Amino acid sequence: MSQQKTIFEKIWDNHVVKRADGYPDAVFIDRHFIHEVTSPQAFDGLRKRGIGVFNTKRTTATADHNVPTKDQHLPIKEALSRHQVETLRKNCAEFGVELYDLGHPFQGIVHIIGPELGLTLPGMTIVCGDSHTSTHGAFGNVAFGIGTSEVEQVLATQCILQYKPKTMKIEINGKLGKGVVSKDIILYIISKISASGATGYFVEYAGDAIRSLSMEARMTICNMSIEMGARGGLIAPDETTFNYIKGRKFAPQGEAFDKAVEEWKKLKTDEGAKYDTVLTFDAADIAPMITYGTNPGMGMKVTDRIPTANELKELNEQVSFKKSLDYMGLEQGSQLLGKAIDYVFIGSCTNARIEDLREVAAMVKGKKKAAGVEVWVVPGSKQVQEQAKKEGLDKIFEAAGFELREPGCSACLGMNEDKIPAGKYCISTSNRNFEGRQGPKSRTFLASPLSAAAAAITGKVTDVREF
């Protein structure tokens, strides 16, 4: 008798090359993405062992974390960043790995280019030395972030040794309200279950509110799975998925595509399959969200007030909570609505795809940014940048006083020169509000592209529904 399985278990079990007593599963990896920051030591490891890359066809590299977002055609100014990107070039050339380098039409943030090139497909196992690899799960695959030792493992053997995580289903049912987008859904979920609420689990998102989303919106949700501690997050593929993939550069074409779709349709959780945990939320409860603290779990509806230490469930948390608000320069129990901001960052693998840029452009068309606010729009990839120009979005941004930059991770992690200065407030479409994430002593409010765009125009934290 065949046992009912979740989609996660189907994909995982399908990729186990060896399951031996006393060992974690040896799991085959279909697609391996690499970038300049977490790969150099892994290539060194290969060199020390005197071995090559197991299958270069399954490996794709790009430069994203450490690249400037201005004048990418010039040599990188900062010596260490330049060295890191040059090391990636050298390693890719030596080991025969395809690299989408600065200036290449396919260059971009690793989690943006995989899907847009059709390298990310349903049913696959995908890893990258980057925690937001969970993004790819939106296509119904098992995708997760790994450390550099594991990057070396995958380069060397195309496999990874892993214990199978537990499974969690998060269901969102009902209709989303006005001004509520996928970023709000995921910020809402994390605020409910905390920054560690899904640690040890692989999440499947389901429910009609999820089904109604575009692929790009689904990616935003899966992207932030790691922010609640999950190993990854996926959404079973459907017609929306297949339509998105059709015709993409490296996706199966013609007859091969039709055959693939038949296989992909089988990728869903069997009726009666068991999850270790199931959570259900009502879409109607979700409002435009914003974070006030220094982890993504510290979020609230934009109209709410920040909790007070006394309202916390656990006494233990009070010290960290106060430390966090001190860092943010915010008062317990106060409201964020109307709070003046200094910077707006529209970018990152969470929200720098073409739909995000379109939404922002539609909102700010014919308007001007507030005086004293600096606005950076950093496209997720070269293709997004080109498309934005083709559609004339660059003109709209320019007229609004927004700066459209060149693609990269940019102020999401402030590894290049795009840093938010100490003490300044930035409303950001990225995924992490950790202390110093956007630059030493910078202060981050995470929100949707809509909320960020509205704040850029008003100069303060704004409820998009009133905009």
Partner 1 sequence: MLISPAVPIAVENIDTDQIIPARFLKATTREGFGDNLFRDWRYDGNNNPIADFPLNNPAYSGKILVAGKNFGCGSSREHAAWAIYDYGFRVVVSSFFADIFKNNALNNAVLPVVVSDQFLNELLETIQRDPKTEVTVDLENQFISFNGKKESFQINAYKKTCLMNGYDDIDYLLSLNTEIKAYDTAHA
Write out the residues near ligand SF4 by the rule CB under 6 A. 64-65, 109, 111, 130, 132, 348-349, 409, 412-413, 430-431
Please report whether residue 96 would count as binding partner 1 according to CB under 8 A. no
Segment near partner 1 (CB under 8 A), from 44-52, 234-242, 368-376, 385-393? 44-52
349 binds, among ligand SF4, partner 1, none (CB under 5 to 8 A by kind): ligand SF4
User: CB 303: neighbour CB atoms within 10 A?
Assistant: 14
Three-state secondary-structure class, residue 264: helix
385 binds, among ligand SF4, partner 1, none (CB under 5 to 8 A by kind): none
30 binds, among ligand SF4, partner 1, none (CB under 5 to 8 A by kind): partner 1
Please report whether residue 75 would count as binding partner 1 according to CB under 8 A. no
Smallest gap from Cβ 426 to partner 1, in A, equals: 15
Contact yes or no for 113/132 (Cβ under 8 A): no
Three-state secondary-structure class, residue 40: helix
The stretches of 202-286 forming alpha helices (DSSP H) are 208-211, 215-223, 239-245, 254-264
164 burial level (CB within 10 Å; 0-12, 13-18, 19+): middle
Residue nearer to partner 1 on the CB measure, 158 or 383: 158
Contact yes or no for 413/437 (Cβ under 8 A): yes
Three-state secondary-structure class, residue 437: coil
Residue nearer to partner 1 on the CB measure, 390 or 441: 441
Q: What is the CA radius of gyration of the chain?
A: 21
418 binds, among partner 1, ligand SF4, none (CB under 5 to 8 A by kind): none
Q: Which residues contact 345 (CB under 8 A, 6 or more apart)?
A: 376, 378, 410, 411, 412, 420, 426, 427, 428, 429, 430, 438, 452
Please report whether residue 111 would count as binding partner 1 according to CB under 8 A. no
Residue type at position 355? E
**Can you tell me the distance from the alpha carbon of 294 to that of 323, in angstroms, rounded to the nearest whole number?**
9
Please report whether residue 84 would count as binding partner 1 according to CB under 8 A. yes
164 binds, among ligand SF4, partner 1, none (CB under 5 to 8 A by kind): none
Which DSSP string corresponds to 115-136? HHTT-S-TT-EEEESSGGGGGG
Please report whether residue 11 would count as binding partner 1 according to CB under 8 A. no
Please report whether residue 157 would count as binding partner 1 according to CB under 8 A. yes
Can you tell me which of 13, 75, 161, 389 binds partner 1, judged by CB under 8 A? 161
Write out the binding residues for partner 1, residues 129-148 only, by CB under 8 A: 129-131, 145-148
Positions touching partner 1 (CB under 8 A) are 17-18, 22-24, 26, 28, 30, 37-38, 40-41, 44-45, 49, 51, 54-55, 65-66, 80-81, 83-84, 87, 129-131, 145-150, 152-153, 156-161, 163, 165, 195-196, 199-200, 226, 229, 231, 295, 297, 316-317, 319-320, 323, 413-415, 422, 432, 434-437, 440-441
